[in-house]
Chains A and B, each alone.
Chain A
């Protein structure tokens, strides 16, 4: 075989393998989604959304878990979102080149990829031990700490995309910096910031590890933030590993609900971004 054919063969082989690698990645996504649909749909019924988690063997739904997840995710994003936005604003506007910003950016990146179970331990030490019991509030705080770095990052990136000319125009009219930020920059970056918040919600709504020893779980309906609260991820964890068929079935249904909510969130966030990039939004 001459050198030329060998090179061509190597090329074809390498490129073929890269195509196969992509197929492998897509295959696993498909396999996971297919499993969720085929096993989760079987247990899908109106009862899932209208009844409480059942005792072993009994019939029931996931209402309290869905409610708990929504409550904690909402509180988490209500705390983590604004704080993250403010910090992102500092990085993009006030402290753009300061020493502090460089450190904050670095630390934020570390927090962004820190193991979520560590955040759970932190909140346990910080809140649960002091309050003396597990609570939905502690769970929400843990989720807020996870949502915050995501928001910081996306807010900074999106504010940086706002054209300098717009900022200058506002400053030239005599507006103070805060006025420029709240009346010009935020509205201009609105879709981007909303996208960041959506991604943060997507990230925290599937988190399990930080809730295990903060919010714990609750078999019953509870609207009390100061008490343990049921939530989908921990219910899925508990039910899937149980020996009871009705629990396992509900676990799959819960898994289907949570995954598709998150995929819808992530995809819609991407749609917002791409409409931004192509100028479709403004």
Chain B
């Protein structure tokens, strides 16, 4: 074989042109990602402008939501969003932590993958499925068995009791938090599992070498080492819970009010938008709903950005320690 490859000038020019076109296309696609986020921010700002111009800062502090008199305030949905997300984390974090420990430290090798995949599948179930399941299966169970018990046992308590008073509706803030908790579990536990796995074996072995039990190694070696990642995972779950729409819409009860009881119906930002947007008449009503969306965008953006930043820092540390 005696082949000589000679690159014709014309061929080379064609190649160079295609190279430019292809590179340009990839660059354009990458920039489009930025433009999308920018576009979302701008369109929400423009859409919410009439509402903010009319109500100003009081939009954030008023509880009233009356489409008939065109009076809108974001306090009730914002309150509902924050409370349900907080409770979801409260219920979800311990379970996620346990799952992550089980998957990284306890499970025999043959069990790791199937259990891990099963938990991940919990994240693949569409949120509307959580919604109908929550409304038709979970809510009746909570109404009949759990909530009467909470009212009877915790209701009479001096201060905390106010959270558990009133009739057992079945749907409401507590039920929504419960469903959200199930939904954030796969996200938080997946991140926790991944960061637990980045803990160098040498560190754990040193712990065992000193005679520590498995739990002591987890609590005093693994957790401190993986702290940033754990917080990042929790924030990611929080971002998920804050923006979750369909599941919450089914079970929250959609009442624009702030009740002291967790058993009472409430609403969240996303549930309000989902329920009312297509029915909203009048510019101010629509604009107020978009303004709610803008608030949600700002809150989740901050939370997700913080989470990603923490996880990114952790990744960099893992890379530099290699």
Q: Which residues of A does B touch, CB under 8 Å? A: 7-8, 10-11, 14-15, 17-22, 24-26, 28-29, 31-32, 35-36, 39, 83-87, 89-91, 93-95, 100-101, 103-104, 106-111, 113-119, 121-122, 124-126, 145, 148-149, 152, 174, 176-179, 181-182, 202, 205-209, 212-213, 216, 233, 236-237, 240-241, 251-252, 255, 258-259, 262-263, 266-267, 270
What range describes how many residues of B lie at the interface? 35 or more
**The one of A10, A25, A36 that contacts B185, using a Cβ cutoff of 8 Å:** A25
Which stretch, B14-22, B59-67, B68-76, B148-156, touches the partner chain A?
Answer: B14-22
Q: What are the 5 closest A-B residue pairs judged by CB atoms, nearest first?
A: A115-B243, A21-B98, A206-B126, A86-B29, A178-B22
Q: Say whether, besides A174-B7, A251-B132, A117 and B33 are in contact (CB < 8 Å).
A: no
25 sampled A-B residue pairs with Cβ under 8 A: A11-B214, A18-B101, A20-B98, A21-B95, A25-B189, A26-B119, A28-B182, A32-B130, A35-B137, A39-B136, A83-B32, A95-B27, A104-B30, A106-B305, A109-B304, A113-B300, A114-B40, A114-B304, A121-B47, A124-B277, A149-B33, A209-B127, A237-B246, A240-B136, A263-B124
Complex: how many Å from CA A213 to CA B275?
A: 10
A to B contact number (C-beta, < 8 Å): 268
Complex: how many Å from CA A208 to CA B270?
A: 12
B29→A208 contact, CB < 8 A: no
**Chain B residues whose C-beta falls within 8 Å of the C-beta of A87 in the assembled complex:** 26, 29-30, 32-33
Per-residue contact bits, chain B 99-142, to A (CB 8 Å; 1 contact, 0 not): 10111001100000001011111101111111111011100000
B128→A15 contact, CB < 8 A: no
From DSSP, what is the main secondary structure of chain B's interface residues? helix
Complex: how many Å from CA A14 to CA B31?
A: 48
A255→B128 contact, CB < 8 A: yes
Q: Say whether, besides A84-B29, A152-B33, A115 and B117 are in contact (CB < 8 Å).
A: no
How many whole Å from B314's CB to the nearest CB in chain A? 13
Pick from B5, B47, B125, B250 the residue with the most CB of A within 10 Å: B125
Q: Say whether, besides A26-B119, A118-B40, A152-B33, A86 and B244 are in contact (CB < 8 Å).
A: no
Q: Say whether, besides A11-B216, A122-B40, A22 and B103 are in contact (CB < 8 Å).
A: yes
**The one of A89, A107, A111, A117 that contacts B26, using a Cβ cutoff of 8 Å:** A89
How many whole Å from B319's CB to the nearest CB in chain A? 13
Complex: how many Å from CA A149 to CA B33?
A: 8
**Chain B residues whose C-beta falls within 8 Å of the C-beta of A32 in the assembled complex:** 125, 129-130, 133
